[in-house]
Amino acid sequence: LLLTSRMRWRRRAASLAGIAIFALVVSGAGYWAAHNYVRGAAFVVQAADLQGIARTLAEWETGPVAEQSLTIPWRAGALPARKFLPIGTWRRTFLLVPGVHASGVDEPRLVGFARDLASIGHPVVTVGPPDLARYTISPAVTDAIEDAAAWLSQQRELSPDGRVGMMG
């Protein structure tokens, strides 16, 4: 009778351990499958400047960002730019162009948006075409954006495959 009782206990313990391992595998697979959605939600929470539990959960998906000023060559000289680099794993790099604003690459909303993107793992380069800072829409603006994108796509440390995302 004592031997049978021990065998039952061992079977139950083995069954519980199997169920626990299965639950961990399923939850891990679920997180892996949904990770891009979780990262996207973290970006939205951060960009919208939400607070509370949503912000706390979003901060699990974000990381520190290093910033650096730089200039990008273009056919009419040099463009003011900023580089926002995530610390850790990188994904596709984005070229981010400000709207019509006198502050150019220093415009606070642009800087915040670039930091938010970089905090979820995307390197970001912001570039400020001078005509946009003068409230002028001209062919020089598209030339500046084109030259900045071409320059960025050739920077192997930022764009190993020569491809960049663009936003404006």
Which helix (H) or strand (E) is 53 found in, with range?
Answer: helix 53-59
165 vs 56, more confident: 165
According to the model, what pLDDT value does residue 9 have? 67
Express each pLDDT in 131-162 by its tens digit: 888 898 889 999 999 999 999 999 998 888 88
Give the Cα separation of 72 and 26 in Å (integer). 47
Provide the whole-model pTM: 0.70
Grouping H, G, I as helix, E, B as strand and the rest as coil, residue 37 is helix
Give the Cα separation of 15 and 124 in Å (integer). 50
Grouping H, G, I as helix, E, B as strand and the rest as coil, residue 128 is coil
According to the model, what pLDDT value does residue 60 have? 65
* Mean pLDDT in residue range 114-118: 89
Grouping H, G, I as helix, E, B as strand and the rest as coil, residue 8 is helix
- As given in the structure block, the two tokens for residue 144 are 């500046």
Express each pLDDT in 62-110 by its tens digit: 778 899 999 999 998 999 999 999 987 778 899 999 888 888 888 998 9
Whether 92 and 164 have beta carbons less than 8 Å apart is answered as yes
Grouping H, G, I as helix, E, B as strand and the rest as coil, residue 71 is strand
According to the model, what pLDDT value does residue 63 have? 79
* Mean pLDDT in residue range 120-141: 89
Express each pLDDT in 1-49 by its tens digit: 455 666 666 777 667 777 777 767 666 666 656 666 666 666 666 666 6
